[in-house]
Structure 1
Amino acid sequence: MSIQRRDFLKNLGIAGIGLSLAPGLVQAGPVYKAPVKGKDLSIIKLSGKVQANGSGIANVAVTDGYNVVLTDAKGRYELDSNATAEFVYISIPRGYEFTNEKSITRFYKKIAAERGKFKADFELKKLTQDDTKHNFVVWADPQIISESDAAQLKSEPAPDLKKLVSSYGENALFHGIGCGDLVWDKFELFDDYQEALNITGIPFFQVIGNHDMDLAARTDEFSAETFKKLFGPTYYSFNRGEIHYVVLDDVFFIGTAKKYIGYITENQLAWLEQDLSHVKPGSTVVVNVHIPVYTRQHIRDKAKEEAIGGVVANRKELYRLLQPFKAHINSGHTHFNEKIFEGENIIEHVHGTVCGAWWTGPICFDGTPSGYGVYEVNGSEIEWYYKATNLPKEHQLRVYPVGKVKDKPEYFAANVWNWDPEWTVEWLEDGKQMGEMQRETGLDPLSVELHEGAAKPSKHKWVEPQFTEHLFFAKPSANAQKITVQVTDRFKNIYREELLMNELKSSLR
């Protein structure tokens, strides 16, 4: 990338992870109107019942976003709240369906108090099967900005997910998590996003992203008004089988359009501490956020410090709260794929995106295919893979011939996008085992071809290839006829790709 272009991207705020567009390139949401009087702190008494078929359900967590209480033996709850609370909502217990409207989950009631009281009952429906085994998918950054983007979302990823779900059989349990940047500041496209979810046929929970915020709001507290009208609370939890799921809002709007930091507010941390107090230590907890809690991008880019809009500044407290559990963190935002490990019990899955490099082609800018994460749950254990849109789930690597990476002209390369240290990446020359390939940081050759240069890609010319740590290299002999790359993931699944002689030697010219 030229210095001039890098400086241009920095001025736009997209050279690092804190992505945004120059003013005028996108349309913000409705103009925000500030409140005309002070904050009302009057007490509101919340009460109600959680039930199924007329029978109360005990020990269901109910919250107003500040405090958490459990239902009694008859499914009843009472909660002293205040007028700043917007919703009363439940942490759906295991064994029950996810109530939804055309795939949008509904687990909350908007508080409309009268004389300081509000009554909200929740009617659940028991599953007809055991949910100890279930599956979920993570859709990071659908990020549609135009009708053409919306049409592509509905014609490619949505049917692809529907087909994948069908492949698991009629009785397979699935749910989805929209991991933020559901749209790209164009709130009128939320309808198209919801239509896409309805095509998939599975219930989805939503995470707010930086491109889902009201950009005219004067503070972070008012930046999620549109999102909440459509999808409810921005932080909450639910349960399926033995897994406790949590959604958090880690995008903190700083009051200037398209400016934000990765940060979890005290309200959320205090709520999360209460929420997790009802989860048995040692259980598996899956936390879903938009901005990654952490990535190594600044290290790959040799930057002096982390991008303030690219990681969560106060992540140490989140790590502390998750320490008693086996924890997975799902995030998006970056448009690349990465695995981050914090100690022995926390793994973060930074996801490649549904839109790839903003709907410019088939890949993200680290070479990861446009797609989504798939997670298979059995009890407290989770296995996962990355599903490329419109490609078989066995598509887990891409192999490049000798010379495709310009600074390693005698080597062939492999991009193994879902790699983590438990994987092995080996190669064979004409059937002979040659050992493991060498992992290095570099640019994916296809991303360079599609994205590098001031004129590419034509749709969004500011997109650039980004360094990745999941590239692997090996040097074949001069008379090699066939190269096989064999990767084994942490679950002992084996994937292979081959290069024949004419492909192997077809270097860039």
Structure 2
Amino acid sequence: MIRSRIFFLCTLFCISALLCVAQQKADIHVLLQGKISDASGKGIGGVMVTDGTNCVSTDVDGNYTLQSTNQAMFVYITVPSGYEIPANNNLAKFYQKITPVHGRYQGDFLLTKMSRDDKKHYTIVWADPQINSQEQADMLHSQVVSDTRQHAKELLKKGPVTGIAAGDIAWDAPAIIPEYKKAVKNSGIPFFQVLGNHDMDIHTRSDEASDRTFKESFGPSWYSFNRGDAHYIVLDNVFYYANGYNYIGYITEKQFKWLEQDLARVKPGSLVFVSMHISAYTEDKKRSGSKQDNPGSITFNRKFLYDMLKPYQAHLLTGHTHYNENYVEDNVYEHIHASVCAAWWTSPICNDGTPGGYGVYEIDGNELKWYYKSLGREKDYQMKLYPPGSYADKPGAVVANVWNWDKDWKVEWFEDGKLMGNMQQYTGLDADAVKYMAGADKPGKYSWIEPMLTDHLFFVTPSHKAKKLKVVATDRFGEKYVQDLRLKAD
């Protein structure tokens, strides 16, 4: 009996030792070393370097040493303020693929000092380019790139401009990625990329394996960078759980642990932007009267992200929904961006009536302003008015769609020059979205596209004798946007 137990324990010990050796082989230590320097060769101290798991900072001479494993794919840096975004044809190139030799990898980074201060700067956010054909790529070039390049040219007169593509870069079509890269090259500004649900590889066995194409094309799927006094973070919250095309909004523990180290280097009170594809939360459930949230449209463990962001002025930059919504929870302001492809390239507007376009953020120290830039329109195009008769349930009403509205906006109306007060907010469908998308025969190419309820609609019923109606929408920054509507001839 005793011999049997001894034999069993010895066998168990041997198995444990073999498993330990196997694990050690799977996690072979790789020593990452390098220097971050400027064009003169001078080292840059205090730059964060990471392998996506652990983070270190360069010493005063710009040197770093980081213990990693063969599980890490990249070594990369948080680009510091005051330095140009290293880029290859405007694609941010802040990383190197680890190719160890005898357990070591030398990763040196060269940064270029900016010729001007970046304390005041601008950030442009594209959500959902989502191209899967040459026809759609051509529209990306002719509509989105041309507008962005022209608008960025004006902004560059006042400060540096950086772009973020907030996911769904392609539409389950890896072969089209070169067209996206061409678009970024021609945009005139450096772009960072976010992984979206249509950028993942499906039919893989795990979430980790689903990011392969994205990483080969654009580098790490979570990282950070600095501009001026602001800190930017990109996360991957598209959690793929196999069995075909299945995902939920979820941030992995590995990212949270990395984020703790990243934020530990950020001064409390700073502006912090977090860009990820799926919204942290949307009030779609409230608008539609559903009993539960769509698991692919919210981030289930968002509360833990909110907690980590409490010491900062935090803003989330998300996409995914193809409609515009501003949502605040736990003092975190989320900007859910309408898509640059509008309704999947079938119409000029999104499901909520928001024109295809992109977000623009003006940062000056710790001060922040923003607006939505519609494609092919001037900056002050921030709403559309619908005349009486446009809505069957409100036959005499004038309806305004104010797409970037939040609760600090004011929407007033004037009748024949006289201020009448605030318009009444309500939840409904945009009239143009109904015209373009409602019904199985519309928009034709993709019959599943339908208009979606939105709460940035406002209405008022003018008097029967009114000749002119004016709407003035004032945003939280005091900017006024005006639209006029003639009701009767003079």
Matches within 5 A, 1:89-488: 89-170=76-157, 172-344=159-331, 346-488=332-474
Q: Which residue matches 2:30?
A: 44
Q: Report the aligned-residue RMSD.
A: 1.3
Q: What TM-score, normalized by structure 1, do the two folds share? A: 0.90
- Cα distance in 2 between the residues matched to 1:47 and 1:502: 74
Letter of the 1:43 partner, please give it.
H
Q: How far is the alpha carbon of 1:257 from its aligned partner?
A: 2.4
- Cα distance in 1 between the residues matched to 2:376 and 2:32: 47
Q: Which structure has the larger Rg?
A: 2
- Cα distance in 1 between the residues matched to 2:228 and 2:368: 12
Gaps of 5+ in 2: 1-21
Change (3 A) 1:394 1:226: same
Runs of 4+ with >4 A deviation: none
Conservation of the 8 A alpha-carbon contact between 2:467 and 2:489: no
- Cα distance in 2 between the residues matched to 1:163 and 1:177: 17
Q: Which residue matches 2:475?
A: 489
Q: Is the partner of 2:26 in helix, strand or coil?
A: coil
For residues 107-136 of structure 1, what are the alpha-carbon distances to aligned partners after superposition, in whole Å with 9 as ceiling and x for unaligned? 001011122111100000000100000001
Of all paired residues, the percent bearing the same amino acid is 48
Letter of the 2:355 partner, please give it.
P
For residues 331-357 of structure 1, what are the alpha-carbon distances to aligned partners after superposition, in whole Å with 9 as ceiling and x for unaligned? 00000000011233x100000000001
Letter of the 1:467 partner, please give it.
L
Conservation of the 8 A alpha-carbon contact between 1:401 and 1:503: no
- Cα distance in 2 between the residues matched to 1:500 and 1:170: 38
Conservation of the 8 A alpha-carbon contact between 1:336 and 1:364: yes
Q: How far is the alpha carbon of 1:502 from its aligned partner?
A: 4.4
Q: Is the partner of 1:166 in helix, strand or coil?
A: helix
- Cα distance in 2 between the residues matched to 1:219 and 1:398: 45
Q: How far is the alpha carbon of 1:295 from its aligned partner?
A: 0.4
- Cα distance in 2 between the residues matched to 1:219 and 1:86: 16
Letter of the 2:468 partner, please give it.
K
Change (3 A) 1:264 1:482: same
Letter of the 1:421 partner, please give it.
K
Higher relative contact order at CA 8 Å, sep ≥6: structure 1 or structure 2?
A: 1
Letter of the 2:245 partner, please give it.
K
For residues 134-180 of structure 1, what are the alpha-carbon distances to aligned partners after superposition, in whole Å with 9 as ceiling and x for unaligned? 00100000001111000000011101001001223546310100100
For residues 172-197 of structure 1, what are the alpha-carbon distances to aligned partners after superposition, in whole Å with 9 as ceiling and x for unaligned? 31010010000100111100011111
Conservation of the 8 A alpha-carbon contact between 2:118 and 2:159: no
Q: Which residue matches 2:51?
A: 64
- Cα distance in 1 between the residues matched to 2:118 and 2:99: 34
- Cα distance in 2 between the residues matched to 1:114 and 1:306: 49
Conservation of the 8 A alpha-carbon contact between 1:183 and 1:193: yes
Q: Which residue matches 2:7?
A: none
- Cα distance in 2 between the residues matched to 1:503 and 1:406: 23
Q: What TM-score, normalized by structure 2, do the two folds share? A: 0.94
Letter of the 2:121 partner, please give it.
H
Gaps of 5+ in 1: 1-36, 505-509
- Cα distance in 1 between the residues matched to 2:263 and 2:435: 47
- Cα distance in 1 between the residues matched to 2:37 and 2:112: 8
Change (3 A) 1:436 1:257: same
Q: How far is the alpha carbon of 1:256 from its aligned partner?
A: 2.3
Letter of the 1:339 partner, please give it.
N
Conservation of the 8 A alpha-carbon contact between 1:210 and 1:258: no
Conservation of the 8 A alpha-carbon contact between 1:165 and 1:172: no
Q: How far is the alpha carbon of 1:403 from its aligned partner?
A: 2.2
Q: How many pairs were matched up?
A: 467
Change (3 A) 1:503 1:271: farther
